[in-house]
Structure 1
Amino acid sequence: MKTSFLGKAVFCLLFAFAYSLNSDAQLLKKLGKKAERAAERTIERRVEKETTKKTDQALDSILEPGSKDKKNPKAPDNTGGQNTPGNTTNGPSDTGSPEAGGPKTIQVYSKFDYVPGDKQLFYDDFGNDFIGDFPSKWNTNAGGELVTLGDSPQKWLELKSGFNIYYIPDVPQLPEEYTIEFDLAAVGVDNQTSSQAKVAITLSNDDKFKPGSNNAYAEIPFCQYAAIGITVQNNINNKREIRSTVKADLRDVALNNPHISIAVNKLRFRLWVNEVKYIDVPRLVAPGAVIHTVKFLANGFKDGKEKVFITNLKVAEGGVDLRRKLISEGKISTNGILFDSGSANIQPQSMGIIRQISQVLMQEKGMKLKIVGHTDADGSDEGNMKLSQDRAEAVKNALVSVYGISSDRLLSEGKGELEPVGDNNTPDGKSQNRRVEFIKQ
């Protein structure tokens, strides 16, 4: 039977339509494969770029630290004074070392268990030294000068970076139990800074420029492209027995003036960075060793670009459990509760002591305490009397608001500058006079 002209036309149209659909589908399929391959190539290029970048950073840290940096040096966000133990020392009024999230509060430090020694052996904020000079109470085998950072008048000592370059404060021979505190600051540190950029704190039986046959030290990292961790090591009779690195991501902390606290109780060595305890080694210090001094060493910082500084060094005998002393003797005095300059704002690092006082009051349900504030002689008599009263009241409020102690168990009193225990003409003496007493009632 013959096919009509109309039927042939319809057939041709249907065939053309089907062919067109199939061609479009093939075209889309080809385009899809091309897009897929293009995406794969893009991903490969990005992975290769990142891999090359990381490889270069690793090689830089080993062979030529910081050599590819093209960024401008960046000063610390807040410099100096944040941990200054005084009622007149200049500095910003932060309530803790600021990090990316802003200033920390005393609530953050509510579980901080560091307790500074109660008998001061050494203190230096460089208050009696001139900018441009090397500090009078320090020694070094290199060089250095005091500087200020940014707009703050706080003085800092730059630690020159180099192998076996030591900075040694005039700390007396150390007892079996003592504490060390200081502030660090860095300028020019960025994501090209070497993984070897560290500040080492060494306890040594050598009082000159050698590590010593008996020593213990910790290294604070400043590297930014990787979390390096804190390394501790010791040598006993010239033989290394311990070397370990504790995982810690201090990259943000290192850029924001970290406050370092160390407690040595005979052989035990503990270290805190701001409110966090990272190191607690029960037998790091050599048994029977006489520790003559504390030494600071900076290493791995690129000359002319990366700088690290130290200030507010405080060494004190003690650091023992204040709770037992308060219960047995009924009275303790401490200059470890720190306040912002000229104010009653408690610095968060002081919460270790206040926490121990709260624990005594929680255990001794019937105990009542009088909190007495003291200042140095800087400023007017009336101003210091008010300041000491405000500071005693601030400690009371912290016990009530942070630890839930009933306010009717606490009294506060200010003595101003009336009862000094040190010489108000020296930084050491002033630091001793700025103190808080807790007296059982």
Structure 2
Amino acid sequence: MTFPKNAQSILVFGILLLFLTPNIYAQTKRLKRPSSRVGIYSVDQFVRESFDIYDKVYKYDGYAEAGTPLDDEDIDVLEDALNDLEGLSDSAPNILGDVDKGNAFKKAKATLQMNKAQKALKYSIKTTKELLTNQRERDKKDDDSDETTSKDDNSEDTNSTGRDTDGKTEDTKEDSNISDNLEVYSKYDFVPGDKLLFFDDFAKDFIGDFPSKWNTNASGEVVKIGDKGKWFELKTGYGVYYVPDVEDLPEDYTIEFDILTKGIGQQTSSTARLHVILSDNNKFNDGTAHYANVSLPLGQYGAFSIRAKNYFNRGGGAVNTDIKADLRKAILNQPHIAISVTEKRYRLWVNETKYIDIPRFIEVENVLKYLKFHLNNLKDNEEHLYISNLKVAEGGVDLRRKLLSEGKISTNGILFDSGSANIQPQSLGIVRQISQVLMQDETIRLNIVGHTDADGADEANLKLSKARAAAVKDALVNIYKIAPDRLETDGKGESMPIGDNSTSDGKAQNRRVEFIKI
């Protein structure tokens, strides 16, 4: 049996301490590892890996109870282990989908063992965080610091599954792999376009149908995944393309979408990739005379590169690059992908990190008018990739000049969790630009006004719009240190629509925030 690298480190350290420190027991009653397999590969692997790491953390718990101090090397090992634990925990919802493939007996057995494994993970994550927190508190005391431990370090993991949805507890949000700590995104500089060209969350499509606003030369279907809503499953295959109804891309535009995976793991091929293609046609190929292709790696057993390749005037292109990146954890954790094209410049972000910034990737302007997706080398019916919330918008260059010159901007690029005032971290590029305007001219004061779509009751939407405006103010004050007396807030609910609330595009336009100079 082989263990992940970090688990091996914990094992080695645990064995050393076992010989040096006899008769040590943790306070918590030890969980018993399941003695038999279920017969569903992903479930058996998840259970085995969960208890492998649990056993090591359990030993650390005992050493801590005995008063054995942790040194710097121990801290490093535990921090690495925490990353593995949270990544493993976040893969649980994907694995649960495999349970339905078995018969009634296997389903019952798999559910029981998954519950045990998740209980082991919950204990391991909580215990690891507490061990790290205790050490950090000692370090802070040595430095005469009076700061308290962050709430995030002390929170107990519940069911971390990626992006937050309504009804989840604060603990769940704090332990989400997608960071809810907005300060991580404080330097995120992606700014979405301000003129919506295309949006699809598949809200109007029926489960099992191919989405109405896309085309393909193969197949695919809209699926509903738990409380995460509707997603479009792309099928893997040679020469298979998915083309959304996006035509005549402008010179400056942005593309955003979310990815969800299931069954991706150590056995996934190193050649498994999602290709995002800008093309000169809407046919089922990369392009005729011009295209720009960036592919994201999906494999998990190594850190595989992002690839960027362009092709212009039938004679090749100047760029054919492998860009070093470790996207393994992100791929398992519902990443948000953002792309900005500004004339010839091409930039790409995965969550808060910018991985590509090529100044002349688009060698010939105004010829790449179409967007395409291609997925290859996943195992059919075993490994799955879904896409949702595809948004294409014109602009995305600089809102600062518009605010200074016109005294007002309206943007639907600041996104919130559904029915909530929690800002999605990837939206901070716009908030950052607003902060730069306020820092440049300290005489400027702003009124922040929130708007919603028409879903839900009028009174609830009015309250939500006010809360969202207040959340944007809080981000400006707490992250970018803008004086609170320079900002006022208001909310208009659904009372001032600018789009058709019967369509997903119109709803996306109506969910917006305005910044108005006072």
TM-score w.r.t. structure 2 length? 0.68
**1:159 and 2:241 aligned:** no
**After the TM superposition, which segments of 4 or more aligned residues of structure 1 sit over 2 Å from their partners?**
69-84, 89-104, 288-292
CA contact (8 A) 1:371 1:436 kept: yes
What displacement does 1:211 show? 1.2
Structure-1 separation of matches of 2:344 and 2:311: 13
**1:439 and 2:516 aligned:** yes
Output the aligned Cα RMSD: 2.5
Which structure 1 residue ranges, 5 or more long, are not aligned? Answer: 1-68
Change (3 A) 1:326 1:77: farther
Match of 2:347 in 1: 270
Match of 2:395 in 1: 318
Match of 2:248 in 1: 173
Query: Where does 1:38-437 land on structure 2 (aligned, <5 Å)?
Result: 70-72=41-43, 76-77=91-92, 103-149=179-225, 151-212=226-287, 213-241=289-317, 242-437=319-514
Q: Deviations over 1:247-271 (max 9, x none)?
A: 1011111111111000000111000
Secondary structure at the aligned position of 1:240 is classed as coil
**Percent identity of the aligned residues?**
56
Match of 2:127 in 1: none
Q: Deviations over 1:284-343 (max 9, x none)?
A: 113234222110000111112111111110000000111111111111110000001101
Q: Deviations over 1:27-67 (max 9, x none)?
A: xxxxxxxxxxxxxxxxxxxxxxxxxxxxxxxxxxxxxxxxx
CA contact (8 A) 2:254 2:393 kept: yes
Q: Deviations over 1:139-159 (max 9, x none)?
A: 00000111122x225111111
Structure-1 separation of matches of 2:345 and 2:171: 29
Match of 1:41 in 2: none
Q: Deviations over 1:355-408 (max 9, x none)?
A: 110011000111000101001111111111111111001100110011100000
Change (3 A) 1:161 1:375: same
| Structure with greater proportional helix content | 2
Change (3 A) 1:78 1:397: farther
Structure-1 separation of matches of 2:292 and 2:168: 34
Change (3 A) 1:317 1:214: same
TM-score w.r.t. structure 1 length? 0.79
Change (3 A) 1:95 1:373: farther
What displacement does 1:425 show? 0.6
* Structure with max Cα Rg: 1
Secondary structure at the aligned position of 2:282 is classed as coil
Change (3 A) 1:92 1:390: same
Equivalent residue letter for 2:306: I
Structure-2 separation of matches of 1:217 and 1:433: 32
Match of 2:26 in 1: none
The count of corresponding residues between Structure 1 and Structure 2 is: 368
Secondary structure at the aligned position of 1:152 is classed as helix
Secondary structure at the aligned position of 1:231 is classed as strand
Which structure 2 residue ranges, 5 or more long, are not aligned? Answer: 1-39, 47-89, 95-159
Equivalent residue letter for 2:506: G
CA contact (8 A) 1:129 1:135 kept: yes
